[in-house]
Amino acid sequence: MRTQVGIIGAGPAGLLLSHLLHLEGIESVVIESRSRVEIEATIRAGVLEQGTMDLLSKCGLGERMRREGALHRGFELAFEGGRHRIDLTELTGHAITVYAQHEVIKDLVAARVAAGSEPVFSVSDTSLDGLESERPSIRYTCDGEEHVLECDHIVGCDGFHGPSRAAIPEHLRSEYQRIYPFGWFGILVEAPPSSEELIYARHDRGFALISTRSPGVQRMYFQCDPSGSVENWSDDRIWSELHARVEAKDGWKLTEGKIFQKNIVGMRSFVCSTMRHGKLFLAGDAAHIVPPTGAKGMNLAVNDVRILSEAFKLLYATGSEAKLDAYPDDALKRVWRAEHFSWWMTSMLHRFDDATPFQQQLQVAELKYVASSRAASTALAENYVGMLAS
């Protein structure tokens, strides 16, 4: 089997790239280790920047997002018993939409199926060959049979643990990483929204985030030990922790409900600046990870494949590889901006066990400055909605 662009991974990056290429008449094949049911049922957060919203709408994928997503024109910073609103639209003219990643994936899979290009699901033993040759290939097993997919180019959108990045010789990879000493305990709750907008809370007990998934399902997180066990957290203990961290002096109360999912997410910052090796290109989590505090993960993946789709369009229209050659530098401008913003939000809002009282007071001072200074609020808002893309 042969195609122009072979794509490993049916997450937002791989599926969106395939869709964008299809709109330009460029052939692609997407392979994925999980089943369609698995990728559409894996619930993950989704804060879409203005640019991501605009791109999905432009390429015909925005209808359900606009209908079912929650458009937010601001969010709140909570600390020292008070809440302070960051008015994204007033400060930047833009907004964000809370629309879960698995819902984006459903829309993308449906679009690929409608185009007659359904991804190849449930593959195993994936390996990459000939990356520095004119005919690279992807080998994989599906339904017990071995397959070889010959490509002009390969794009690895297979996440942090996928085979694509590992196919680049280690001595040729430049990688940067920080693993944080805490994680997020996440819950899904059957309840009406506690707040019309997201709440980011800094408390002496640790960080907390109040978000939403739908009018009847809410998503909440609080900082925890990443090595802890979900079984150690009863519903009563979870609610006690969340109430303590987010409730304000004005009498506002968190709305409880039935908890139907619990999980612990570790946190890291990671960049592989070697985003190209021969005919292989990395995109999304295969190349970079951000802590979720800045809400940048899916948006970075979208930006990567936007740049790549434009580069492949130029290649197949004119034969020029200029944009493909520039891809790593063009993508990394946005990646490092988002890495810094996500690190800054994480550092400002989380409890660090080794922090001195002096350092804790510096956190509060920074939050007060952000909440009271229009310049500081604007800088936060511009990064959050994605205006500072390069």
43-88 tens-digit pLDDT: 777 899 999 999 999 999 999 999 999 999 999 999 999 999 999 9
Phi, psi (rounded to 5 degrees) for 126 = -75, 135
When the pLDDT of each residue in the chain is averaged and rounded to a whole number, the result is: 95
CA distances from 265 to 173, 182, 207, 297, 302 (A): 26, 9, 14, 14, 22
213: pLDDT confidence band, cut at 50, 70 and 90? confident
Query: How many C-beta atoms lie closer than 10 Å to residue 293's C-beta?
Result: 23
Asked whether the predicted pLDDT for residue 387 surpasses 80, the reply is: no
- Name the band, by pLDDT with cuts 50, 70 and 90, for residue 212: confident
Active site residues: 72, 200, 292, 296, 384
Reference 363, options 74, 91, 87, 80; nearest CA is 80
- In angstroms, rounded to a whole number, what is the distance separating the alpha carbons of residues 318 and 313? 8
pLDDT at 329: 97
pLDDT for the residue 257 = 96
Cβ atoms of 184 and 267 closer than 8 Å: yes
pLDDT at 388: 58
pLDDT in tens, 140-172: 999 999 999 999 999 999 999 999 999 999 999
| Type of residue at 227 | S
- The answer to whether residue 42 scores a pLDDT higher than 90 is no
What is the token pair recorded at 59?
Answer: 């390429």
Segment 109-137 shows an average pLDDT of 96
Structure tokens at 215: 């009018």
Alpha helices by DSSP H, listed for the chain, are 12-23, 36-41, 50-58, 63-68, 88-92, 101-114, 163-166, 235-246, 297-318, 322-349, 357-372, 374-385
Given a cut of 80, whether residue 247 has pLDDT beyond it is yes
CA dist list (Å): 286 to 9, 156, 158, 263: 10, 7, 6, 22
The answer to whether residues 182 and 350 touch, using CB atoms and an 8 Å cutoff, is: yes
Would you say the pTM of this structure is higher than 0.75? yes
* pLDDT exceeds 90 at position 389: no
Q: What is the CA radius of gyration of the chain?
A: 21
Contact 47, 74 (CB under 8 A): no
- The per-residue pLDDT for 390 is 43
pLDDT at 38: 94
pLDDT in tens, 262-320: 999 999 999 999 999 999 999 999 999 999 999 999 999 999 999 999 999 999 999 99
| Residue in this structure with the two tokens 């680049």, named with its chain if needed | 168
In the chain, what are the domains? 2-72+95-177+268-345 (3.50.50.60), 180-266+351-385 (3.30.9.10)
